[in-house]
Structure 1
């Protein structure tokens, strides 16, 4: 992992080059956010023909228990395959899901309603190692730094960064609140916000983030528990009117994500106090062994609101947004990370076309890319995700009600019959965009 502190020139501005040269005509591309989406974008750009270096600014070291480590589902496979050998490496490390299913809650017998096995680690770690091999002359990941502001001109973007330890807890983007000596400045060709749901870049971007908050408070708990001994798939969508949720493998070490819903309005302390009671309704045997001993360990509790939102534009000048920084969706269709990876994949191709001077109209191409990604969100992500949210909240407490679900839900019914279930493509056809 390339973890470095930016070198500073005599005028107090970072030059963006590890060799100290300041006369290079090619400013780096700066990516704010070193999660799966940001690292994948960096990897794609570093494999392209662009002359620019890639700088990833990430506030915190990689965390194997974070959402960034969740195993990838089949919709991401064609996207991941754009990097030679990456899909195979992720397969070997166990970073790809081996199967998914819809099942009833444990209160209703944890019956598998429909399932699909895939013929097939930790994703961020694999991406980081690949970037490290390329060397800092091409790509660099700066961990422990945070973007707090930017200002763009027609030819570049000045990006203000500070060490994470000195970051103010005030609103993102208030870089002027930091002492000048703590700030560093990067001159970038483009700035990409891949910094998640609470994106600093989006806040400074000042763009409409319209949509809605769904009518339930969700809680993501990361726990150690032996779900495999209870025949759970890597991805399990629990359908129940009360104990609905999502249970997914994070790592082969036995770390799993258990997401569930609770009533709105509970305090953070009330949420934490209710974790064990809720897990009792989600885990086989209530998470206990025959002696009544607790067989799980909770390592993280993260409440969040289920959102269906998308920015009005992914691009303003030389600043772009991808992944959760650009759009949010509930987890019950498994399309959040997949759509973010598709954003990164298409943006890498578009930027490569621009930075190698092959685009017929650079501004029109970025605008067309933005419009296509918004269209993909509303047609391919938003609608199926809303349907999935309704699906998991249904009552399937009897065999008759299960049969009713199979008959009226095309996706679950097709999965039950063993038919391939592939959503419409998340990918943008870049060559068809205006300005290409």
Structure 2
């Protein structure tokens, strides 16, 4: 059956589904938005593993993306199962007394980041998707290939047992992470660089509040820099720090006690903590050369990677999903005069948004935590030259530019 925008379902049958490769937060959020739309297409999410509520991945969501969550009707439940941060600060390292450089304590109702581990967010999204009749999540499967036709894309999926099937879809979206199979199959390069540091996400139980720490603490020091943030209200905290890029994981684990002695406040030799998880990973600043090609697209970590010190990694992926949902709904509702141009325009807009709003601030945030602030003079210099830290010192935290891409501004809308 032909339609006005040139997209035809083979054999005139019911509309083909949209396949989303990857059941992480970004893929699930995209799927949820699509199920909430008026398009008749089913959504099929392909994911090898079930959500892990104890994952060491992203643990907080910035206020800049709360409007996206509100649009999906998620804010009430996110507020219930997560915890809003009570404060944000920059401070010196333990060797310099963990001195507060600049900080802000948030009042009740004031916009603050929401602490909610990625695994628990995924569980909520899965629950919401299962409540609809327009989507299915195929766990234990992964996308291993695809073949594009004029009107559809055949998506080859495979179980761990080796069993394979092909799903005929109208579009395939790769939200399958940094090592995206979809991106590799597309032949799209991930341009940029690996930073000269390996970051270590360590989840521990320790009473940071007893030492005057805020819920979110950026530690500024050339060697013992990092982020110390509260994960939940049961005493679990994330201590993220850096080690040389070539440090083996066994050496990282062996050196953990010494690193904790340098990172954790408290009396030397008497810091009692419990390590729950340790996860080293490479810090990247990379962006795909395109986010859309033919009938296949990319979003989230499959399309771009950034270090965590500006808190814009998952946030930018959620913004990708929000705008891509708008575009796909526009196309599949037969309202776009030129779907090819619209998808290309979306890709260009999201790439530009990453390069200007995510990549540059994230690089600045990475450089900031490496700053030497051993003296009062060096602290004063930081406050004068760094707009964000200086504004926080004055009680006026800077809001980053919008991550949103508005569909009606795109060519082909």
Match of 2:78 in 1: 90
Residues 79, 342 of structure 1: 8 Å contact kept: yes
Match of 2:193 in 1: 212
Report matched runs for 1:24-423 at 5 Å. 24-68=13-57, 70-84=59-73, 86-94=74-82, 96-118=84-106, 119=110, 121=116, 122-134=120-132, 137-163=133-159, 165-166=160-161, 178=162, 182-285=163-266, 292=270, 295-423=272-400
Instruction: Give 1:344 shift.
Output: 0.6
* CA separation of 1:105 and 1:411: change in aligned 2, threshold 3 A: same
Residues 26, 318 of structure 2: 8 Å contact kept: yes
Residues 223, 300 of structure 1: 8 Å contact kept: yes
Partners of 2:231 and 2:141 in 1: CA distance: 26
List runs of 5+ in structure 1 lacking aligned partners.
1-21, 167-177
Of 272-281 and 387-396, the range deviating more from structure 2? 272-281
Residues 71, 96 of structure 1: 8 Å contact kept: no
Partners of 2:84 and 2:292 in 1: CA distance: 31
* CA separation of 1:52 and 1:116: change in aligned 2, threshold 3 A: farther
- Scaled by the length of structure 1, the TM-score of the pair is 0.85
Residues 56, 279 of structure 2: 8 Å contact kept: no
Q: Alignment partner of 1:251: what SS?
A: coil
Once the two structures are superposed, residues 89-134 of structure 1 have per-residue CA deviations (whole angstroms, 9 ceiling, x without a partner) of 2112125544322121122222222223442543222222222222
Residues 58, 314 of structure 2: 8 Å contact kept: no
Partners of 1:324 and 1:59 in 2: CA distance: 17
Instruction: Give 1:354 shift.
Output: 0.5
Q: Alignment partner of 1:435: what SS?
A: coil
Hey, which bits of structure 1, 4+ residues long, moved more than 6 A? none
Residues 73, 96 of structure 1: 8 Å contact kept: no
Instruction: Give 1:23 shift.
Output: 7.5
Q: Alignment partner of 1:372: what SS?
A: helix
* CA separation of 1:252 and 1:25: change in aligned 2, threshold 3 A: same
Q: Alignment partner of 2:71: what SS?
A: coil
Partners of 1:241 and 1:202 in 2: CA distance: 35
Instruction: Give 1:266 shift.
Output: 1.9
Once the two structures are superposed, residues 296-317 of structure 1 have per-residue CA deviations (whole angstroms, 9 ceiling, x without a partner) of 2223222222111101100011
Once the two structures are superposed, residues 333-388 of structure 1 have per-residue CA deviations (whole angstroms, 9 ceiling, x without a partner) of 11111111110110000001001111111000000000000100111011111111
Of 103-112 and 375-384, the range deviating more from structure 2? 103-112
Instruction: Give 1:47 shift.
Output: 0.8
Partners of 1:321 and 1:224 in 2: CA distance: 37
Partners of 2:267 and 2:196 in 1: CA distance: 26
* CA separation of 1:368 and 1:274: change in aligned 2, threshold 3 A: same
Of 374-383 and 393-402, the range deviating more from structure 2? 393-402
Q: Alignment partner of 1:378: what SS?
A: helix
Residues 36, 68 of structure 1: 8 Å contact kept: no
Residues 307, 362 of structure 2: 8 Å contact kept: yes
Instruction: Give 1:255 shift.
Output: 2.8
List runs of 5+ in structure 2 lacking aligned partners.
1-10
* CA separation of 1:66 and 1:379: change in aligned 2, threshold 3 A: same
Residues 198, 283 of structure 2: 8 Å contact kept: yes
Partners of 2:363 and 2:62 in 1: CA distance: 19
Partners of 1:78 and 1:396 in 2: CA distance: 36
Residues 92, 219 of structure 2: 8 Å contact kept: yes
Residues 213, 305 of structure 1: 8 Å contact kept: yes
Q: Alignment partner of 2:266: what SS?
A: helix
Instruction: Give 1:67 shift.
Output: 4.6
CA RMSD of aligned residues (A): 2.0
Q: Alignment partner of 1:51: what SS?
A: coil
Instruction: Give 1:320 shift.
Output: 0.8
